[in-house]
Structure 1
Amino acid sequence: MMTRVVWQGVVAGLAGVAVMTLAEKAEQRFTGRPDSYVPARTLSRLTGLPESGPRPPRWRNLAMHYGTGAAVGVLRSVMAQAGLRGPVASGMFTVVRLTTDQILENATGTGAPPQTWPRTELAVDLLHKAVYGFVTGAVADSLAARGGPGPGRRHASLRPGRESGVGPIPRRAAWAAR
Structure 2
Amino acid sequence: MLRRAIWQGVLAGLAGTAVMTATEKIEQRRTGRPDSYVPAQVLARLTGLPERRGRPRSLNLAMHYGQGALLGVLRSVMAQAGLRGLWSSAMFTAVRLTSDQVLENATGVGAPPQTWPRGELATDLFHKSVYGFATGAVADLLAARDGPGPGQRHAARLPGRHHDVAPAPRRSPMPAGS
1:155: how far off? 0.3
1:169 is aligned to 167
Distance in 2, matches of 1:81 and 1:177, equals 14
Please list the CA deviations of residues 1-41 of structure 1 after superposition, one character each: whole Å capped at 9, or x if unmatched.
32211000000000000000000000000000011110000
1:117 is aligned to 116
State whether residues 159 and 166 of structure 1, in contact with CA within 8 Å, keep that contact through their aligned partners in structure 2.
no
State whether residues 13 and 136 of structure 1, in contact with CA within 8 Å, keep that contact through their aligned partners in structure 2.
yes
Distance in 1, matches of 2:41 and 2:48, equals 10
- Number of equivalent positions: 174
1:59 is aligned to 58
Distance in 2, matches of 1:65 and 1:47, equals 15
2:153 is aligned to 154
1:28 is aligned to 28
1:10 is aligned to 10
1:78: how far off? 0.3
% same residue? 68
Read off the aligned partner of 2:18 and give its amino acid letter: A
Distance in 2, matches of 1:99 and 1:159, equals 33
Distance in 2, matches of 1:77 and 1:87, equals 14
1:165: how far off? 4.8
State whether residues 40 and 56 of structure 2, in contact with CA within 8 Å, keep that contact through their aligned partners in structure 1.
yes
1:175: how far off? 3.6
Could you list the runs of 5+ residues in structure 2 that have no partner in the other structure? none
Aligned CA-pair RMSD: 1.4
Secondary structure of the corresponding residue to residue 157 of structure 1: helix
TM-score by length of structure 2 reads 0.93
TM-score by length of structure 1 reads 0.93
Distance in 2, matches of 1:145 and 1:88, equals 16
Distance in 2, matches of 1:146 and 1:72, equals 21
1:159: how far off? 1.8
State whether residues 94 and 130 of structure 1, in contact with CA within 8 Å, keep that contact through their aligned partners in structure 2.
yes
1:139 is aligned to 138
Could you list the runs of 5+ residues in structure 1 that have no partner in the other structure? none
Please list the CA deviations of residues 86-143 of structure 1 after superposition, one character each: whole Å capped at 9, or x if unmatched.
0000000000000001100000000001000000000000000000000000000000
2:73 is aligned to 74
